[in-house]
Structure 1
Amino acid sequence: MKILSLVLGCAVLASTISFAKSSDTIVDDVTGELVQLREDGRGDRVVGSPWATRSPILAVNGMAATSHPLATQVAIDILQDGGSAMDAAIAANAAIGLMEPTGNGIGGDLFAIVWDPKTQKLHGLNGSGRSAKGQSLAQLKAKIGDVSQIPNWGTAPVTVPGTVDAWFELHQKFGKLPMATNLSPAIRYANEGFPVTEVIAYYMDIYQKRYERLFKAGEIEEIENYQSTYLIDGKAPVHGQLFSNPDLAKTLEKIAKGGRDAFYKGDIAKTMDGYFKRIGGPLRYEDFAEHSSEWINPVSVNYRGYDVWELPPNGQGIAALQMLTVLENYDLKSMGHNSADYLHVMTEAKKLAFEDRARFYADPTYQNINLDYLLSEKYGKQRAQRIDMKKAANQLEHGDPKLIEGDTIYLTVADKDGMMVSLIQSNYRGMGTGLVADGLGFIFQNRGAQYSLTPGHPNVYAANKRPFHTIIPAFITKDNKPYMSFGLMGGAMQPQGHVQMVTNIVDFEMNVQQAGDAARFHHKGSTSPTWEGRMKDGGVLELESGVQANVVRALQKRGHKIHITSGPFGGYQAILKDLASGVYHGASEMRKDGQAQGY
C-alpha cells in the first residue's frame, strides 16, 4: 500500500514548502491506500499549497487590498467613479481610521511610496509629525520622572498628527476627484454606523480594559472622551455590533470643506490646543500650524534581479534592505523554506540589521546616515561574516561608525492607468495614547514613546523633532517597471516581514497570496531604537505553529530561544503586476479581517 500525506489532490507548490504532518494514518475505504491526516481542522484546496487560504484576486482595471472589507469596497467604488489609485487610497484610509481605530486614525502619521505612470518613477512621502516646540528634553524628563524610557500612554508620547497633511500632499500630486468626494464614504459610515469585525472587536475590548486600568493608575490624564467616543453603553463594541462615530464625521466634514488648514490652523487645531492645555499636554496651536510633510526619495537594493524599495529614516525601512544585502550571500532556496538553516540565517541577519537600526536610525534633520555605504554589497558581505550557521548570537555590536556623517494599517491600491500606491498609517501602539480631544472623534498617537532619553544618541528626544518610526511601506520594481506594491504592518515585525515576503516571492516563487499565508517568524529582543535594553541573551525567536517540530528542535540546539505563538506576525497586503499581461494580482492577510478586490 502507498502511504499518502492527505492533501486530497492538492498540488504542493514546491518540495521545500511543507506543513506539520500527523503520525496517524488511516485506510481509505475507496482506494485501499494508507492516508496520513493533517488533523489541523483546515479544509483542503484543489490546487496550490495546502496551507494557502485562497487564490490571489485577479483584475485588470483596478485593485485594492486593505485590512477591512468595507474599506476595500470604498477604494473600488472610488476607482469606478473615475478616481485615481491615490483618491482610492485616501478614501480607504479615511474609512479604516473609523473602522479599525485599534491601528490607525487621523491622530497618527502616514508614509507612502507611489509609482507614477506619468513620470515612470517612484515618489516617497514622509508624513510624520514632530514633538512640541515648547518642550525640551529636561522638561520632558521632569514630567515623566525617573524612568528609563518615555511612557506609551497619556500626554508624554504625543506628537503632531501627520496624516491629514499627508493626504492633501498626496492628493495634490496624484488625485483626480475632489477631497470631499474621497472623504464622503468615511463620513457616511461614521454617521450611519457599520458592523465591527472580529479581530477589531477583540482588540477594542483589550484596549478598553487597558485604558481604564492606566487611568486608575494615573498614567492617562483623561478618559471620559475615549469612553464617550468608543464605548457603547460603557462597553467596547462586540463582533457584529453596529458602531458609529458622529464626532469623527463632523471632523472629517470640516476637513472635506476647509482642507488641511481646517485641521492644522482652524477650529480643529484650536480644539486640540485647548484640550492639551486643559490636561497638561505639551502640544500647542503653533505645533499644528507649522506642521508639514516632506517629499523624499525612496532607496533600494537589488536582490537577485529585483529592486526592493523602502523609505529612508526616520523610518526603519532600510533595516529590511540591510537584511537583504546580508541574505544575498546565502542560497536560501537550497536551504528550503522555513527549514532550520533558513530560519537561522534570517534571524541572524535581522539581529545584525537591528543593531544598526538601534544606533543610527533617526530624524535625518538631526542625524545623517551614509546610506550608500550602509546598503552596499561590501557592507552586506562584511556583516554576513558575523553569522555562525551553527550557533545563535547572543550579543552583537552595531556596524562601522562610518555610517554616521553628521497594531498599524497597511493598504495598497492600483488603477487602470498603472498608478500603484503603497501606504501605511498608524497610531503606533494599538489605539494610541488613549486621549481624544473634545468632540473630535479620534485618538492621538503615542509615537513619541520611540524617542531615546539617552543624551548624545541620534534618536534622543528634542523639541520639534520627528521620532524614530516603525511604519514602512514597500515596493518592488523589475527592470525599472512596477512589480509589487506591498507592506506588512506590526512594529518591529515590519522589516522582518518585508524580507520574508521578498524571499517568498523571489527565492521560493510563491504567488502573492501564498507569500502572505506561509508561516512566519518574528525575532524580538534586539537592542531598541530608544537605546533601552541592549541585546545580551540573543532574544526570542517567535514562530507560528505551521513550522515543523524537527525544525524547532534543530533551532533550539543552535541556541535559539523558541516561543510558539499567534500574536506578533503582522498584517500583509499586496498587489503584484504581471509584467507580461498587465494583470494585477491582489492578496490580503488571512490573520486580519481584510480582503483584496478588483474589477
Structure 2
Amino acid sequence: MTTGPVIGTKTMVVSPHYLASAAGARILQKGGNAFDAAVAVSAALAVVYPHMTGLGGDAFWLTYSAGEGRVRAYNGSGRSGYGVCRDCYAGEEAIPRRGVRSAITVPGMADSWSAVQRGYGRLTLGEVLEPAIGYAAGGFPLSPDQYGNSVLAGAALSPEAAAIYLPGGAVPAAGSRFVQRQLAASLRLLAEGGRDAFYKGQIAGDISRYMRASGGYLTREDFAGHQGNWDEPVSTDYHGYAVYQVPPNSQGFTALLALNILEHFNFGGIAHGSYEYYHLLVEALKLSFRDRDRVLTDPAFSRIPLEQLLDKQYASLLAASISPVKAAVFSSEPVGRDTAYAAVVDDEGNAVSFIQSLYFEFGSGVVAGNTGILLQNRGSFFSLDPGHINTLEPHKRTFHTLMPAMACLDGKPVYLWGTQGGEGQPQTQSLLLTRMLHYGMDPQAAVDAPRFVWGRTWGEPTQELKVERRVAPEVLSKLSEAGHLVRPVGDYDGIVGHAHAISIDANGYRCGGTDPRCDGAAIGW
C-alpha cells in the first residue's frame, strides 16, 4: 500500500484528498503563494471531503512568512452563542451529540480563510475559491472514505442533509459523481462578498432563520459578533528544533509537553518499532493528557499555566515517573476523531500547516436550510457540570482537538505535519516527528510505518491501545505484559487517523508524504 516520497525542488502540497491537493497546485501555478494555495486546499476539502470538514466547521493555522521570518498562529474556532448556557439543557446530563441543539458554536472557517488570504495572499478570495466552487457545482468522484462514513453515519443526518448526502435515500456509490449545488451557491456568495457574506449577510441570515425555526440557539447576532484571532504560537525546543503549536483553546501544548518528556530519553539506544519505542511514547502522552484534561478550555475564561506545564524541569520530573516495564493507569474521555490536515510550501519559503473539522463525521448531521452547509457539533464537547473546567458558558470557545504542527531550524521551517483524529493527534504527531528526526525517515516512510492510538472511542468502555497488526507479535505481547490493553487493528487502519507531512532539507528540496489510509496526494515540483 505504500509508495515513495514525492520530492519537489520548489513547492509541495499535501492533503487527504487528491483533488484538494490539485486545487492548491493549480493556485500555485496561477501565481499564488502558499497562503493562497492553502486557502484553496482548505476550501476544496470543504467540498470533496464533506464528511470530515466544511464551511460550517472550524480551522486552525500555523503560518510562516519568509518576508517576516516568523511563525504565527490563527485561531479559527467559533464561540458558543451569546444566549447559549447550561440552562438551555436543564434536566439533561449532556449536550446532544447530534441534531440542531448540538450546533451551538459559530463556524470559524470562513473567517480564517479571509484572515490568512487577506493577510498574506496575492490573489483575491474569489480566485482561490474557484476550484472548490467548480468541484461543488460540477461534481467530483465520491471518495471511498466518504462512502464508508455515509454508511456509518447516514442515520444521523437531518432531512436537508440526507437529501444531499443520501440522494433517493441511498448512499451514493464510491466513484459516482457527487454534486453540491447549494454549497456551490454559498461559496459563490462568499467569493463575491467576502467574510461578511457569511457572518453579516445572506448566509448568516439563512442559517439563523433555520436555527430559529428548528429549535436551535445560534442567532444572527452570534454570527455578526464572530472574530477569529492571530496569536503567538506556543513552542518548545526539542533537540535544537523550535517546535510550534497553536495555543489554547487548542490541545497543541499536549504534544509539546510530550516532547519535553521524551527529550529525557536516548532514542539512539531505542530501536524503532521496538517495545521500548511504543511503550515510551504511550506513557509520555498519557502524562501530557492528564494535564491537558485538567486545564484545557477557553483561556479567556480560565488561566492555563503553560509556563509551568512546558517548563523543562517539570518535564524531567514526569519523565522520571515513567516505568520501563509497567503501563500507567489513566482514564481520558473520548474527544472525537474526524478531521482533515493539510500543508503547503511554496518556492519563496512560505509555509502553511493547517487543520479543519466538523468534529464528528458530518458534524451535527444538520444542513442549514438551503445553504448546503453542514453545521459542526464541536460545542457538544462542553460539559454541563458547572464545576468542570470546560463547562458551557455563553460566547465561549470549547476545548479543541485541532492542532497543526511546524518545526523550524535556524529560524526556517523544516517539518510541517499533522493528522486526523481527536485523542490521536498528539499521539501520531509524536510518532511522525520522532521517526523523521531521530530515525531519519522521510515523510512518506514516517506516515506509512505502523501506528497506534491509545484511549477510548465513543461507546467503548476501555482505554485500549489500538495497534496496527504490522507491529511485530513479540512487541504486542510485551506491551500486553506491561499492562497495556492491546487490541490489534488492520494493517493500515483508518482508526489511527490520516496523517501527512512535509520536510525541507538543507538543499531546499521539499519532500511530501500522504497517508495510504485515505484518498490523499502529495504534489510538488
State the TM-score, normalizing by the size of structure 1. 0.84
Q: Compute the displacement of 1:597 (Å).
A: 0.5
**Residue of 517, 534, 547 corresponding to 2:471:** 547
Q: Compute the displacement of 1:362 (Å).
A: 0.9
Contact 1:150-1:453 at 8 Å conserved across structures: yes
Identify the structure with the greater helix proportion: 2
Q: Which runs of 5+ in 2 are unaligned?
A: 333-337
What residue in structure 2 maps to residue 12 of structure 1? none
Matched residues in 2 for 1:351 and 1:418: separation?
Answer: 36
What residue in structure 1 maps to residue 217 of structure 2? 282
**Residue of 351, 355, 368 corresponding to 2:286:** 351
Contact 1:248-1:441 at 8 Å conserved across structures: yes
> Measured at CA, do residues 429 and 583 of structure 1 come closer, stay the same or move farther in structure 2, by a change above 3 Å?
same
Counterpart code for 1:411 = A
Contact 1:359-1:457 at 8 Å conserved across structures: no
> Measured at CA, do residues 390 and 482 of structure 1 come closer, stay the same or move farther in structure 2, by a change above 3 Å?
same
What residue in structure 2 maps to residue 191 of structure 1? 137
Mapping of residues 46-65 of structure 1, within 5 Å: 53-65=2-14
Q: Which runs of 5+ in 1 are unaligned?
A: 1-41, 43-52, 213-222, 398-406
Residue 585, structure 1, aligned to residue 511, structure 2: yes
What residue in structure 2 maps to residue 156 of structure 1? 101
State the TM-score, normalizing by the size of structure 2. 0.95
Counterpart code for 2:388 = H
Q: Compute the displacement of 1:416 (Å).
A: 1.1
Contact 1:110-1:163 at 8 Å conserved across structures: yes
Matched residues in 2 for 1:379 and 1:174: separation?
Answer: 38
What residue in structure 1 maps to residue 165 of structure 2? 230
- Range with bigger deviation, 91-100 or 109-118: 91-100
**Residue of 48, 70, 77 corresponding to 1:121:** 70
**Residue of 447, 466, 473 corresponding to 2:378:** 447
Contact 1:348-1:387 at 8 Å conserved across structures: yes
Q: Compute the displacement of 1:253 (Å).
A: 0.5
Counterpart code for 1:241 = S
- Cα deviation code 1:432-478 (max 9, x no counterpart): 00111111112100101221222233211101000111111100111
Matched residues in 1 for 2:164 and 2:331: separation?
Answer: 46
Q: Compute the displacement of 1:319 (Å).
A: 0.5
Counterpart code for 1:544 = E
Counterpart code for 2:102 = P
- Specify the SS of the correspondent of 2:100: coil
Q: Compute the displacement of 1:395 (Å).
A: 3.8
> Measured at CA, do residues 91 and 257 of structure 1 come closer, stay the same or move farther in structure 2, by a change above 3 Å?
same
- Cα deviation code 1:104-133 (max 9, x no counterpart): 000000100011000101010001001111
- Range with bigger deviation, 566-575 or 343-352: 566-575
What residue in structure 1 maps to residue 497 of structure 2? 570
- Specify the SS of the correspondent of 1:324: helix
What residue in structure 2 maps to residue 478 of structure 1? 409
Q: Compute the displacement of 1:396 (Å).
A: 7.8
Mapping of residues 27-426 of structure 1, within 5 Å: 53-139=2-88, 141-142=89-90, 145-147=91-93, 149-158=94-103, 159-208=105-154, 210-211=155-156, 223-395=158-330, 407-426=338-357
- Cα deviation code 1:396-443 (max 9, x no counterpart): 89xxxxxxxxx1101111111111110101001111001111111121
Contact 2:53-2:356 at 8 Å conserved across structures: yes
Matched residues in 1 for 2:43 and 2:171: separation?
Answer: 21
Matched residues in 2 for 1:156 and 1:380: separation?
Answer: 40
Matched residues in 1 for 2:280 and 2:175: separation?
Answer: 43
- Specify the SS of the correspondent of 1:427: strand
Identity over aligned residues, as a percent? Answer: 38
Q: Compute the displacement of 1:333 (Å).
A: 3.5
Q: Compute the displacement of 1:385 (Å).
A: 2.2
Aligned residues: 516
- Specify the SS of the correspondent of 1:435: coil
Matched residues in 1 for 2:214 and 2:85: separation?
Answer: 19
Matched residues in 2 for 1:563 and 1:151: separation?
Answer: 29
Counterpart code for 2:187 = L
Residue 513, structure 1, aligned to residue 444, structure 2: yes
Counterpart code for 1:596 = A
- Cα deviation code 1:185-224 (max 9, x no counterpart): 111121111111222221122221x316xxxxxxxxxx22
- Specify the SS of the correspondent of 1:388: coil
Counterpart code for 2:44 = A
What residue in structure 1 maps to residue 365 of structure 2? 434
Q: Compute the displacement of 1:382 (Å).
A: 1.1
- Cα deviation code 1:28-75 (max 9, x no counterpart): xxxxxxxxxxxxxx7xxxxxxxxxx11111112321111111111111
Matched residues in 2 for 1:294 and 1:598: separation?
Answer: 30
